[in-house]
C-alpha cells in the first residue's frame, strides 16, 4: 500500500486539525469527513485541498477507506471503533481510548483478530521536545509534571484526570518504564460537577516517584515536566516545544558553583506534534508495524486514570 484512503470522524476543535493534516499528507488521500453537524463538516471539507466527501454515518466508511481517525467525544469511541476494526479499517482513536478498561481491551482484541492497527492519540509522545529529550532520560528518580489551563465548558462533562492528566500518565509509563505500585490522589470540584483540579503522587516499582498536577482553574496555559535522575536534571516545556538539560561538567566530582554545571539547550524542529502522530499512524498502516502508542498503552493509561478517580479524596 503506497497511499492510504483515510477518513476523520468528528471534526470538532481537534478533529478539524486531523482533517487538515490528512488532507495534505503525502501518504494520505482524505476521502471522507464524518460528523453529525453536516454544516460544520461541509465548511471544513470545502477548505480542504483533498475535497473530501461529507457524510453523517460512519458505517458508510466500511469498504471505502483503509484507515480512520476517531475524534468524536470519548463516550462514542467504542461504538464507532469496534465495527470499523471488525471491517478491517485501521483506527487512530483519540485519547482517552475509551471510558472503561473493558471496552479498551475489547478494541485491542478486535484489532488483533482482524490484523489491523489500533493507535491511541496521546499526542505529547510526538512533541518535538519529548522526542529530543527522551534519549537522555535514564533511570529517573523523581518527576514533577504540571498541566494547567483555562476552563472550557465543552469538557465540563469529563474531569481533568481523563481529559488532561491522562497525557502525563501515559508519558510517565513511557519515561519510567515500570508499573505503578501505589499512589495518593486529591482533587476538588470548583467550576463543574467533575474534578477541576487534581494532584497525584505516584510510586513506581523501581523506586521512582512522580508528582502530577492537572488544573483547568488557571488563566494561562502551563505544561511542563521536570525529570531528576542520578546524572542530570531535564526540564521539558511541552507548550514551548523545548527542553534544557543540566549535568555536571566532565571531570567534576563535586559542584562548587554554577560554573561546574553544563546546560544544554538543543535546537528542536518546530514541527507540529499532530503531524508526527498522524505520520506515525500512516507509516504503521503502510508498513504493518506497531504504532508508537498502541491500544495496550492507551488502555493502561485509562486503567490508571480510573483507579485514581476511584481513590481520589475530595
Domain harbouring 236, CATH code:
3.30.360.10
Indicate whether 159 belongs to any domain: yes
Predicted pLDDT at 210: 98
92 and 153 in a single domain? The answer is: no
Shared domain check, 74 and 10: yes
- Domain shared by 141 and 113, yes or no: no
Say yes or no: 28 and 68 in one domain. Answer: yes
CA distances in angstroms from 270 to 100, 123, 128, 129, listed in the order given: 35, 15, 7, 9
Q: Does 254 score more than 80 pLDDT? A: no
Same domain, 283 and 256: no
Task: Please report, for the chain, how many H helices and E strands are present, in that order.
Answer: 9, 14
Domain assignment present for residue 281? The answer is yes
SS3 73: coil
| 72-79: average pLDDT | 97
Same domain, 132 and 254: yes
pLDDT of 308 reads: 98
Question: Is residue 29 located within the same domain as residue 76?
Answer: yes
pLDDT value at residue 190: 96
Are 254 and 152 found together in one domain? yes
Tell me how far apart the alpha carbons of residues 194 and 143 are, in angstroms, rounded to a whole number: 26
Examine the pLDDT at 230 and tell me if it is beyond 90.
yes
The answer to whether position 298 is within a domain reads no
CATH number of the domain within which 62 lies: 3.40.50.720
| Total structural domains within the chain | 2
Half-sphere exposure of 76 (CA within 13 A, CB side): 12
25 & 109 share domain:
yes
- Does 137 lie in the same domain as 208? yes
Residue 119 has pLDDT above 90, yes or no: yes
CA distances from 24 to 29, 243, 280, 306 (A): 8, 29, 15, 37
67 is a domain residue: yes
Distance of alpha carbon 143 from alpha carbon 213, whole angstroms: 11
The pLDDT of residue 14 is above 90 = yes
Q: Is residue 285 a part of any domain in this protein?
A: yes
Tell whether 250 is covered by a domain: yes
Q: Is 299 inside a domain boundary?
A: no
| Residue range 290-305: mean pLDDT, rounded | 98
Q: Within this chain, do residues 68 and 151 fall inside the same structural domain, yes or no?
A: no
Quote the pLDDT of residue 65. 98
Residue 118 in domain: yes
Indicate the pLDDT class of residue 270, thresholds 50, 70 and 90.
confident
Q: How confident is the model at residue 259 (pLDDT cuts 50, 70, 90)?
A: confident
Co-location of 118 and 214 in the same domain:
no
CB 187 within 8 A of CB 197: yes
Residue 255 has pLDDT above 80, yes or no: no
Instruction: Provide the residue range defining the domain that includes 97.
Output: 4-122+273-293
Pairing of strands 53-55, 118-121: unpaired
Query: What is the per-residue pLDDT for 250?
Result: 79
**pTM listed for this prediction:** 0.95
**Mean pLDDT score of the chain:** 96
Amino acid at each position: 500500500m503506497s497511499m492510504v484512503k483515510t477518513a476523520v470522524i468528528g471534526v470538532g476543535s481537534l478533529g478539524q486539525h486531523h482533517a487538515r493534516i490528512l488532507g495534505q499528507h503525502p501518504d494520505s488521500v482524505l476521502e471522507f469527513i464524518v460528523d453529525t453537524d453536516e454544516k460544520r463538516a461541509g465548511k471544513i471539507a470545502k477548505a480542504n485541498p483533498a475535497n473530501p466527501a461529507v457524510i453523517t454515518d460512519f458505517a458508510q466508511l466500511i469498504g471505502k477507506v483503509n484507515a480512520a481517525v476517531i475524534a468524536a467525544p470519548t463516550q462514542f469511541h467504542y461504538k464507532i471503533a469496534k465495527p470499523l476494526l471488525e471491517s478491517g479499517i485501521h483506527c487512530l482513536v483519540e485519547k482517552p481510548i475509551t471510558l472503561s478498561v473493558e471496552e479498551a481491551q475489547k478494541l485491542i482484541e478486535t484489532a488483533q483478530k482482524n490484523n489491523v492497527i489500533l493507535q491511541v492519540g496521546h499526542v505529547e509522545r510526538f512533541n518535538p521536545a519529548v522526542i529530543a529529550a527522551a534519549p537522555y532520560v535514564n533511570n529517573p528518580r523523581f518527576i514533577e509534571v504540571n498541566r494547567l489551563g483555562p476552563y472550557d465548558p465543552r469538557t465540563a462533562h469529563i474531569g481533568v484526570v481523563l481529559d488532561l492528566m491522562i497525557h502525563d500518565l501515559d508519558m510517565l509509563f513511557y519515561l519510567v518504564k515500570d508499573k505503578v505500585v501505589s499512589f495518593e490522589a486529591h482533587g476538588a470540584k470548583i467550576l463543574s460537577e467533575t474534578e477541576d483540579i487534581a494532584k497525584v503522587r505516584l510510586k513506581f516499582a523501581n523506586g521512582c516517584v512522580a508528582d502530577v498536577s492537572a488544573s483547568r482553574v488557571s488563566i494561562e496555559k502551563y505544561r511542563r515536566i521536570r525529570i531528576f535522575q542520578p546524572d542530570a536534571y531535564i526540564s521539558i516545556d511541552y507548550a514551548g516545544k523545548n527542553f534544557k538539560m543540566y549535568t555536571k561538567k566532565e571531570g567534576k566530582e563535586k559542584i562548587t558553583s554554577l560554573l561546574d554545571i553544563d546546560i544544554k539547550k538543543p535546537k528542536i524542529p518546530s514541527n507540529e506534534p499532530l503531524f508526527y502522530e498522524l505520520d506515525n499512524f500512516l507509516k504503521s498502516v503502510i508498513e504493518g508495524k506497531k504504532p508508537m502508542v498502541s491500544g495496550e498503552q492507551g488502555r493502561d493509561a485509562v486503567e490508571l486514570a480510573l483507579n485514581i478517580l476511584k481513590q481520589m479524596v475530595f
